[in-house]
Amino acid sequence: LTKTWTDACASPTGATIVIPAGTYKCGVVEFKGPCKGPITFQVDGTLQAPTSPDGDSWITFCSFENLAVTGTGTFDGMGSAIYGKQKSKAVVTSRYHKTNWSFNFITNGHMEGVTSKDSKEFHVNVLGCKNLTISKFTVCAPADSPNTDGIHLGRSNGVQILDTKIGTGDDCISVGDGMEQLTVERVTCGPGHGISIGSLGQYAGEMPVKGIFVRNCTLVNTQNGVRIKSWPDQEANDVSDIHFEDIVLDNVDNPIIVDQMYCPSNLCKSKISNVSFKNIRGTCKLPEAITMTCSSAHPCTNVEMCDIDIKCTTGPAKAVCTNVKPVITGIMNPPGC
C-alpha cells in the first residue's frame, strides 16, 4: 500500500486506490501528503489491523487536500482480542488513544460508505481538518468495549457528520477543544454514551469550542443523550453557540446533561454560554431526565430550552439545575429549572 500511495500521490491528475473485495491484513501505515492531485481511497474489502495494541493510530491520512475515502468495505481494528485487558476510562490519563484511523490536517475531505469495526480505542480521530464531510458511515463495537469513541474531533473547522449509524462502548461522537462549525445530522447512536461536547479543560492550552449544531438525531439505549462536560482547566476556555435540536430519545439513561462538576471545589474556568435544547422528546430510564450542574464561579448563561418532553419509564421524571437559569418556552416536561 505504501508504494501504491507514493505513486498515486505523485500523479498530477489524481488517482484512485482500490482495495477489492476480500480480507487483507494491514500493518500500521501513514499516508502522507502533500500530493500533486486529488486521491480517492476506495475500500470494498476488509482490512484487518495487527492484534498487537502497539502505536496510537493504525491508519493515518495526513497533510494534504482533496481526499475521498469511499466504498463498502470495513476497517477491522481487531480490538476484541484486547478489550478485556484494557483499563476502564475512569483511570485512563493519556490524551492519546489507539485509533482505527486518523484524519490529520486534511482540507476538503470526504468519507462515505465504509465501516469501522472493533477499534482498539477510538474509531476515528479528526484533528486540524477543514471542510471535511463524513456520511453514510457505520461504527460497530460491543457496548462494553472501553474507550471506543465513534468519532472524536478537535481543532478543526467546517466538519459535517451526516446519515451515520454508530454503536460502540463510549461516546458516539465526542467534541474536543478547538472545534468550530460542526454539523451533526441524521445520526443514530446506540449503544454508546451519547453525543458529547467534551470533556474539556483537562489539559493546558485548550482552545475554545463554538458553533456546534446537532440536529435530527436518534439515541437508543445509550448511557447519555446530549451532553456538555468540563474539567478544571489551567487556562480559561469558552464553550459557546452549542445547539441540540429535534432529538429522539429511546430508553436513554441520562438524556440532557451539562456537567461542570468534573471540577473539584467548583473551580471550573470554562465558560458555557449560548446553548439551546429544542424539540427533544422520548423516554429515559433514570428519574433525572435533565441535569444541568454549572459552576458557581462561572454560571452557564444564555441557555434556552424549548419543547422538551421526556418521560421516565421507572417513575416521575425530574430536572435538576444548579447555577443556571434557562429561558423556557413551549412544552417543558419534566418541569423545573
Cell of 176: 474536543
Strands 115-117 and 254-259: unpaired
Could you give the CA distance from residue 66 to residue 221 in angstroms, rounded to a whole number?
Answer: 37
Active-site residue 243, yes or no? no
**Residue 268 pLDDT class (50, 70, 90 cuts):** low
Per-residue pLDDT, averaged over 223-252, amounts to 89
Q: Which three cell numbers stand for residue 209?
A: 469550542
- What per-residue confidence (pLDDT) applies to 235? 56
3-state secondary structure of 324: coil
Cβ within 8 Å of residue 323, ≥6 positions away = 293, 294, 295, 296, 299, 300
Give the mean pLDDT of 285-303.
93
Instruction: Assign 91 a pLDDT band (cuts: 50, 70, 90).
Output: very low
Residue closest to 98 by CA, chosen among 77, 84, 67, 115:
77
* 145-194 pLDDT, tens digit each: 999 999 999 999 999 999 999 999 999 999 999 999 999 999 999 999 99
Cα 326 from chain centroid? Answer: 26
3-state secondary structure of 4: helix
In the predicted model, what is the mean pLDDT of residues 74-88? 83
Task: Using pLDDT thresholds of 50, 70 and 90, give the confidence band for residue 232.
Answer: low
327 class by beta-carbon count within 10 Å (0-12 exposed, 13-18 middle, 19+ buried): exposed
Of 60-74, 93-107, 117-131, 293-307, the range with the lowest mean pLDDT is 93-107
Residue 289 host element (H or E)? strand 288-293
pLDDT band with cut points at 50, 70 and 90 for residue 201: confident
For residue 89, pLDDT beyond 60? no
Query: pTM for this structure?
Result: 0.95
Assign 297 a pLDDT band (cuts: 50, 70, 90): confident
Mean pLDDT in residue range 122-141: 99
In this prediction, residue 86 has a pLDDT band, given cuts at 50, 70 and 90, of: low
Least confident of 57-66, 114-123, 235-244, 298-307: 235-244
Supply the mean pLDDT for the chain.
92
What's the length of the chain?
Answer: 337
Give the per-residue pLDDT at 199: 87
Instruction: Tell the residue number behind the cell numbers 500500521, with chain if given.
Output: 28
Residue 220 has pLDDT above 90, yes or no: yes
Q: Give the three-state DSSP class for 15.
A: strand
> Strand 157-167 relative to strand 180-189: parallel, antiparallel, unpaired?
parallel
Measured distance CA(284)–CA(316) in Å, rounded: 10
Annotated active-site residue in 123, 152, 193, 298: 193
For 238-253, letters b (16+ CB in 10 Å) and e give: bbbbbbbbbbbbeebb
